[in-house]
Chain A
Amino acid sequence: MSVVVDNACTQIWDALDSGAKVSSLRVSPVVYDAVAAARAGEVARHYPLMLLGLPLVADHAVPTYDPVVA
């Protein structure tokens, strides 16, 4: 998870530096499930899963260690 979060955070800063708006973080289903397992309480309360302030979206096309900021 530390690699995924680091790669995502670096991408977010790159996007912000270039003036882009960021609205979601696309991750592999493996990562999505790992976050959901760690945040079982939030899932039970029907909160959206979020990472680094962005909503998480599970995407089979995204490699495990390379999330995509959208």
Chain B
Amino acid sequence: MKKILTLVLLAVCSLGLFAQEEAVRLIAENPDRASNNMHYYEFAPIYDTPAPKGFKPFYISHYGRHGSRYEQNSTFARAAQEGFFHLDSLGLLTEAGKTLWAQVEAVVAAHKGMEGSLTPRGAREHQQIARRMADRYPSVFKDKNRQEVNCFSSTNFRCIVSMCNFTYGLKDRFPKQQFTFTSAERFMAYINPSLNVPRPGEVPPPRPQIPAGFRYPNQQPERRPFTPAAGEPGYDLTRFLTPLFTDLQAALRELGNPEPFVKAIYSAGGLCQLVDALSDIDIYRTYFTPEELTYFWSSGNDSIYRMWGGSVENGDVVRYAIRPLLMDFVEKADAALEPGSHRAADLRFGHDTSVLPLFALLGVDDPQHRVFPYKEAHKMGWYAFFQVPMATNCQMIFYKNQKGEVLTKILYNEKEIQLPGIEPVSGPYYSWPALRQHFFHLCEKAAEPWNRPF
């Protein structure tokens, strides 16, 4: 028995080690991936399994995260800015250190007044996803009886601007579609439901209230007296730091624990890929090794899986909270299937905090349909940069035949997927009535342990 246990443990450990190596390989292949959910949308070639004979696509229901955006604040690199400023005043920066400092400042400066906005890259991502949708399923948009495209957006401006770009991508191909645009708090109940669901016996924390007349302070970092950071780094950062300082030991005495300083540079580095104006700056490739990037990537990766994925620890909360979004897919599909409906597509524009939970409820947030403790995510080959990058999307494509039978195919970032717990009719094609039933079952199951009102 002991032998078997040892073998199993060894197997798990070696799997973890393998996955770790795989993560380094993927990040070496494209260092921008190390920015987790701040990674741009990577489009890989797609393949469409031919639909069963006689079935043609006629309706699409879609949810898309906003595209590449600016960071939501301009304080993300404060620890680096303060550290560089202080070390420079002591004459400890090399030319390389000064160059990196200037680059970090340039990334911060590009964010001033643009915090949280969609970038031109984000605009292109949405236009391209829309064009590919139109090119893959032209029959949906060519149907003269189905010319309505209804768009619902989160009230956040980067989502509304994503919506505009997406619709222009579609209009490029099919200019005659009739678009309606909606964005309001009322629809956030399903576009971006709160994941702040208390477990039984828990009291939810009060919603933060903004006092009347409150004005957000200017986000200009104040110049505070520099204090060394506490603790020890979790990774040996000597290689990274050496070229930046004229005297590494003196610099380390000032910095204390150098990890917050380097992590702030890592944060700034992850943003360069998103902003066209920063294309000349490549902090990840210039200063970091893939191993160093993987170190900073891993904890963020795991934390994203915990917050919005189907983890052992939090998956039940996430699946419970996102039911209104899945039910909205059902509700809108029901309406689109009504005789006389003119609806070609329902498009929703929202956030990672909803699209990953939606995939978790469907049981596909992990490509192999697994559920694991969140701290294992980076060892299990779960990559936020693939599962929930900018512009992550879920598309449900509805097909029908002359008899009126309806099949549905689900795409995760434009790729066909298969769902656990339900048999397809063939390939990725599911009978819509069965799938609809399955969705209800998933929602009921997600509500089971707590038995709370919907």
- Chain A complexes with chain B: no
